Structure 1
């Protein structure tokens, strides 16, 4: 079973704002978080990645810059369904 994955470039255009259990994407979309796993293993160590499960049965991979604390400002890395295996900058897939 392969998942559909939408990958996003690392720009402020894909910055998410967290308010309680919701992630807001610049007025375009809002997700309700039901679970967060992470930080996930990263091949380069420049960012900390997290897997977020939503109430719509979607999975988001988000990241914060290295050295950042908390989860107020996150960036959308990719959006997929259920299981995501996404190549990160030529490194191994996220598990």
Structure 2
């Protein structure tokens, strides 16, 4: 039974776009961020993954939508939002 749940979870992940996560991640140059910024991004990413199953399906799909993410990505905006979290 646990295997069935895992298989369903993996199929759901793939259907939501998770199978392309490595491609999406490679498109962003994390090296452009300072070490402290990288730690915050890692924390936010880990937090997102921990709460993944609680997110609505449309939100999960939007997060993994390669075209939408690349279009919305703005390094300076990300850095500004990181700074606002540190206050």
TM-score with structure 2 setting the length: 0.26
- RCO comparison, higher one (Cα < 8 Å, 6+): 2
TM-score with structure 1 setting the length: 0.25
In terms of fraction of residues, the more helix-rich structure is 2
In terms of fraction of residues, the more strand-rich structure is 1
